[in-house]
Amino acid sequence: MADTVRWLTPEEQRAWRGFVRLQERLGGRLGRLLQSESNVSPADFAVLVHLTDVPEGRQRYQDLARALEWEKSRMSHHIARMAGRGLVVREECAEDARGAFVVITDAGRAAIEAAAPRHVEAVRALFIDHVTPAELRVLTEISERVLRNLDEEAG
């Protein structure tokens, strides 16, 4: 196996480690801001964003878990906690007795509506304001290409 490993070049390693550090630090900072200013965890925010992006604010458990890249147990536990706080509800699926939907509540909508402006301000201040429009376009192209590849591998 060691003979077939394509080790990263110094340039590749610098780029990869910089990307990972950026993602970790930016995610940590945004998460702390969300929690302290809006009382919404990054995981809550991710669920609520996905639910506000779909018709009727409802999505099948399995589709939401796949979109978030979460294991089934993490999804179940987190949705149960969010339901306990009134942010979402679980609805059984009439067509499939084994399936269920996660549905955003009015309280969940209020939470994301309160958190989103603060979040976007932080995203701008911590990231967007520090890259040029051309750099942003390149980042978009790179992200979309890598995500397409990940989707193809998963499919």
Please report the domains of the chain, with CATH numbers, ordered by start residue.
Answer: 14-154 (1.10.10.10)
Q: Tell me the torsion sign for CA atoms 64, 65, 70, 72.
A: positive
Q: Tell me the torsion sign for CA atoms 115, 99, 78, 81.
A: positive
Q: What is the pLDDT of residue 2?
A: 57
Give the chain's end-to-end CA distance (angstroms, integer): 27
Q: Could you report the average pLDDT of every consecutive run of 10 residues in the chain (155 residues)?
A: 85 98 97 95 97 94 93 95 97 79 97 96 97 97 96 84
Q: What is the pLDDT of residue 93?
A: 79
Q: What is the pLDDT of residue 99?
A: 81
pTM here is 0.88
* Gap between the Cα atoms of 154 and 148, Å rounded: 10
Structure tokens given for 1? 């196996």
* Gap between the Cα atoms of 60 and 22, Å rounded: 32
Q: What is the pLDDT of residue 95?
A: 76
Q: What is the pLDDT of residue 130?
A: 97
* Gap between the Cα atoms of 120 and 117, Å rounded: 5
Residues 6+ apart with CB under 8 A from 139: 131
